[in-house]
Structure 1
Amino acid sequence: MPPRRAMSVKSAVVPFEPAAPPAPLSRLVHHDVLERWRAADRSAHAPHIVAVPRGDGEDWAAAALVTARPHTAYLKIVDAVGDVPRAVEAVVSHARHRGLAQVKWEGWTVGPGAATAAGFVPLSAPRTPAEEAGGPRTGYVRRLHDGAVTEPPYYGQTTHFTCGAVTALVAQAHAGRLPRESLDRRAELTLWRDATNFPACEPVGLGVAVRRAWPSSPVTVFLDADRPVLLDQYPADEQEWRAVLQRASRAEAGRVGVPIDSHRLSMTAIRSALGRGEQVLLLVSLAGMQGFDVPHWVLCHGVVPGAVVIEDPWTNTAAGDTWVDAHLLPVPDLSLDTMSTISPDGFRGAVIIGPA
């Protein structure tokens, strides 16, 4: 659906304080909805209320709870209450004013008819097992730019350590080399077992595992570090045997024909790869988006003006973060450049998968 022209909606933006919501909001929102808003600690995602005042200015005709991951280019409507169309247009105007790429809407209290009427399109339901998925069953997105980014399936990792395997599986499903219905825990753990450096997947091992699983897929590893990586948190004796495994992965890369490029992969090069129809598995730190410096794999699969669109297989449920945040997630180039500079050495690791 092409972007719609936003209506001019007068609105107010105020922080959301769970313990002391504004009086106009308390009169507008249903108790059950307000309790769900309070159930998570959303403080890291800048929760705020976008409200539409009534004519007298003393009360609100509509309001929406809005959040977003830091250092990203979207807003998420958790719920809209009151005059819902006016609340949603106020959020869209707010997002446009900030130069953002999209607005998402969690499907807790909105159905497809109302979402479509507001200019949103449905997101494909996640492939994650129901007991693992969390969040709403449905979600919607309204793009605020021209052009379209094709939608991969969303699958959330079911362990703390299988992000690399999941990003590779989602990339191959997106490319049509893997049936979407085969995205499941068995596939996740099987590919992780072949790629792991116990428990993480380092770039070379992940690239080799992808090539072994899909021999027709061109794979290139980018790693601007000439030593074993992702080992600094381990004691010396545990670093040693993991380093042996990484050296073995490098030798295996030579045997199966996976090139290892030691140049630093730039944001321009990532955009160029995506423009050629390639997909980029990128190693990032979660410090910017989630507040803790943990290495993590995401899939870069599309671009919009000023941002790269990623799939993140991990969500922080305790912060109110759901698959709606992590799916089709636009991240500004500068933010992604910072996230993918991995401490302590400042290296960058990536695996690029080309068309067959």
Structure 2
Amino acid sequence: MPPQPQQEQQEPPVTSVVVPFEAETARTLPGRLGRHEVPERWHTVDRSAHDPHLVTVPGADGADRAAALVTARPHTSYLKIVDAVGDVRAAVGAVVAHARRQGLAQVKWEGWTADPEDATTAGFTPLRPPLAQAEDTAGPATGYVRWLGDGTVTDPPYYGQTTHFTCGAVTALVAQAHAGTLPPQALDREAELTLWRDATNFLACEPVGLGVAVRRAWPSSPVTVHLDTDRPVLLDHLPEKEQEWRALLQRASRTEAGRTGVPVDPGHLTLTAIRDALGRREHVLLLLSLTAMQGFDVPHWVLCHGTVPGAVVIDDPWANAATGDTWVDAHLLPVPDASLDTMSALSPDGFRGAVTIGRP
């Protein structure tokens, strides 16, 4: 993606109505506006966790002349257009205005029915399609993004983890591809599983083990682990006997970090420090809980790779197809600083784990 303009020109106000997504209205509206294939997609999954709503544009006669189904992950700074029907350009303009009123950083548009010319005219840029995704992941072949404020963000290649447990390895690989250290064509399942195997604490990747594995894979890349607890982590859900041998492996990872010169910073990594690292064109692999964005408390690695005013831009290697969440949501995802701060304080004692990767 080319750098975004420093100051975007705003459109004239758009008259629109925002209403909750209600099954019956949503089932008949697209057909009235000439898109009979759309209702099936709107009702195939339960989107209720992502605040689904309709943004409609009334015509001169009072009837709807355009509408868009809009969703978004909670505690983020974007809106996603699933489909726009009727006068598409009017519908999209109404969504952009709706996002501006909320002070959001971005609008995305899934490519199910989006016409590339309509997207370009509305100020959207194409997203690069995913290099890989899990077999059970549903999503459009194309997608678009429009940033609504200042700042420049470049896009890493999007790679969706192909297992439930390789998020840490994927974030490291994508970071190195974004930095130019790894060719994008080298991002494949063999690379994903190989790095995971070197970093895993069975099945998760804990911060020290991941940092050591990154150093082994790319010796010329500066690596720092940030972990503000000295106890073993990501083990509390396991029986005591299962915790014991994994804790031993985590102690071995700390020994290996010392042997290979990987610093383990015991201080709390602040959001200011994350922003500073990103300003130096470093990458931050950040461990967070999916409670806020997806509704279940599972530790998960994401890649922090850019900033815009008020939000950190992440790439999440996992999307929840059961809620209508797709790679378009997960790629170039702006998360407000306060939300990211809360998400990345992991229970039971609010520790923070991260790995920063500098430029070679």
Q: TM-score range by the shorter chain?
A: over 0.9
Counterpart contact for 1:132–1:158, Cα < 8 Å: no
Q: How does 1:1-356 map to 2 (within 5 A)?
A: 2=5, 3-21=8-26, 24=29, 26-28=31-33, 30-57=35-62, 59-128=63-132, 131=135, 133-356=137-360
Which blocks of at least 5 consecutive residues in structure 1 are unaligned? none
**Shift of the alpha carbon at 1:301?**
0.4
CA distance in 1, matches of 2:326, 2:192: 20
**Shift of the alpha carbon at 1:112?**
1.9
SS in 2 for 1:335: helix
CA distance in 2, matches of 1:304, 1:321: 23
Counterpart contact for 2:134–2:161, Cα < 8 Å: no
Deviation track 1:227-262 (CA, whole Å, cap 9, x = no partner) reads 100000000000000000000000000011100000
CA distance in 1, matches of 2:289, 2:19: 30
Counterpart contact for 2:26–2:39, Cα < 8 Å: no
CA distance in 2, matches of 1:129, 1:49: 29
The number of residues matched between the two structures is 355
Of 6-15 and 239-248, deviating more is 6-15
**Shift of the alpha carbon at 1:24?**
4.9
TM-score between both structures, scaled by the size of structure 2: 0.96
**Shift of the alpha carbon at 1:302?**
0.3
CA distance in 2, matches of 1:24, 1:344: 47
Counterpart contact for 2:30–2:38, Cα < 8 Å: no
**Shift of the alpha carbon at 1:5?**
1.6
CA distance in 1, matches of 2:269, 2:61: 56
SS in 2 for 1:108: coil
Output the amino acid matched with 1:161.
F
Deviation track 1:284-332 (CA, whole Å, cap 9, x = no partner) reads 0000000000000000000000000000000000100000000000000
**Shift of the alpha carbon at 1:28?**
1.9
Q: Percent identity?
A: 73
Output the amino acid matched with 1:37.
W
CA distance in 2, matches of 1:300, 1:45: 22
Deviation track 1:261-300 (CA, whole Å, cap 9, x = no partner) reads 0000000000001001111000000000000000000000
Counterpart contact for 2:306–2:312, Cα < 8 Å: yes
SS in 2 for 1:186: helix
CA distance in 2, matches of 1:119, 1:257: 47
CA distance in 2, matches of 1:27, 1:110: 18
CA distance in 2, matches of 1:4, 1:102: 14
Output the amino acid matched with 2:47.
R
Deviation track 1:50-97 (CA, whole Å, cap 9, x = no partner) reads 00001122x101000000000000000001010011100000000000
Counterpart contact for 2:138–2:326, Cα < 8 Å: yes
